[in-house]
Structure 1
Amino acid sequence: MVALRFNMMTSQKKFSIPKRGEAWVLKSLGKKWKDYKCNLKGEYVKKHKTKDALLKYRPSRIPRDQWRGLVSYWLSDKAKRRTQANRNNRSKKMMPHTGGSKSIATLMNEQIPDANSGHERVQQTSRMLSVAENDQHSHGRRGQ
């Protein structure tokens, strides 16, 4: 999708970003850009079901040609398949990930002390998993 893509070259001309913070700034901007497009889709696609209606009620902040490209992408078969696959995957998710950028495996490895016996590691892992399952039941699954 070419339309509505964050243009890094333009941002480098408009902003003076120190080298040491550049990766963080670009990652943060990318996330905000992705979230913005997600919010637009949620707001406009639910309200205006057809392509014609979506094109007619374009947000004033977005140029017409970019909006047309984004709407075309949202309504394409490829985007619809991806949306459905993501929906299916989220519905199968049993345990929410609340560890930030670290994977569950890394968190577990850091919390379990090195033990001489594998039995102690298995017990500790079982305790952690049962705590996670209890959290899941107390918080409910996403989408319910």
Structure 2
Amino acid sequence: MSVREAMERSLNGSKIILRFNEELQAVGDGAGLLSGILGALGSDYSKFPICEKSWAKVRGKDRVYDDCIKEMFHFQDSSGIIKKKLLQQMGKSWKDTRGRLYNSHYNPLWTLEQNLEKRPKGIPREHWKWFIDYRNDPATKAKCKQNRLNRKKQLYKHIGGSKSLARAREEESEKQGRKVGRGEIFILKHKRSDGRYIHEEARKIGEKIHEIEQLDESTRLLSQNDSLAQALGKEHPGRVRGMGHGPTPSQLFRPSSQPPVDRAQQEETQRMLCELQAEVTTANLKRKAMKRQAIESVLSYLVQQHCGELPPDIAARMNCLDGHGRK
């Protein structure tokens, strides 16, 4: 299903059921579609103006979340955690897209007027002027330069297209018939289809992970000392490598005093709740349609009984209802 088809489906009152794993990451068939829609919404500068210094300052996020995401998808949020993560993904699209637009539409050799005339479609003139001024500010230039240097230092970029690590991990776990660790996913996502590693550094890390897991199979299981942690070293604060967007160390590496979560049971419960709520929504829509059909049948009968016209009192009420419906 495409993004356009999902939007058309939501207009008909149908929603796509989303499923989330234990780490509250979208998985399954709807996850890819969700990612595409979050990207499309985040890069829509008619919804989120380009003329802000950061995503945190952008207004209207709650409205877009309620009117678009919640209207297209059906899922159980977890105390607002999922909403926060989805808005963060939209924010990344907002930030990345405006960087690409600056590189593709701004020419330092042009005059300001020429740059304003050549601005991207859908962005107001004054908004593009603000953004040009912001990007050309010395402080912003220094920040962008540092970001470029940081990206060049990233040695472990993986392949696999738009499929998230969470989806890849779930699919591989289903294929293997057991829970697959992040070390195994690292190897999977850093190899080409012919089995070769994408670069020499990835090969060294992959072979080290394989060696660690051969010596101790328990290092396949997610932990602060699993095969990936031993191969790559200490985790970055606030992030967990090899797990994709969202999970944090405090969420994944729970103290031993806390009871473990039965992941399979949790996901099955969530799936059943989503399906039940979707059934209730569908039933409500059917009841409304049946009620409307019954009313139309009665009105048709009344028209026939009164020589093609409704009784004056009923006609007045219908006109009143039509007026409210158009507002």
TM-score range, shorter chain: 0.5 to 0.7
Question: Counterpart of 2:51?
Answer: 3
| Amino-acid identity (%) | 22
Q: For residues 125 and 142 of structure 2, what CA distance do their matches in structure 1 show?
A: 26
**Segment drifting more, 17-26 vs 54-63:** 17-26
Are residue 60 (structure 1) and residue 121 (structure 2) matched? Answer: yes
CA–CA separation in structure 2 for the residues paired with 1:94 and 1:27: 21
Higher relative contact order (CA 8 A, sep 6+): 1
Partner of 1:95 in structure 2?
Answer: 155
**TM-score normalized by the length of structure 2:** 0.28
Aligned equivalents of 2:109, 2:136: Cα separation in 1: 12
What RMSD in Å do the two structures reach over aligned CA positions?
A: 4.0
Q: Which of these two proteins has the greater Rg computed from alpha carbons?
A: 2
Distance 1:58 1:112 in 2: 45
Count of residues paired in the alignment? 113
Aligned mate of 2:104, from 33, 43, 53: 43
In structure 2, the partner of 1:85 is: 146
Q: Any stretches of 5+ residues in structure 2 without a counterpart?
A: 1-49, 159-164, 167-181, 183-221, 234-327
* Contact 2:116–2:129 (Cα < 8 Å) also in 1: yes
**109 and 19 in structure 1: CA distance in 2 versus 1, 3 angstrom threshold:** same
Deviation string 1:55-98 (CA, Å, 9 cap, x unpaired) is 2211121111211111111111111111222334444x273355
What pairs up with 1:1-144 in 2 under 5 angstroms? 3-4=51-52, 6-7=58-59, 8-12=61-65, 14-15=67-68, 17=70, 20=77, 21-46=82-107, 49-91=110-152, 93=153, 95-96=155-156, 98=158, 109-111=225-227, 125=231
Q: Secondary structure at the match of 2:121?
A: coil
Whose helix fraction is larger, Structure 1's or Structure 2's?
1
* Structure 1: runs of 5+ lacking an equivalent: 114-123, 130-144
How far apart are residue 45 of structure 1 and its match? 2.5
Give TM-score, length-normalised by structure 1.
0.55
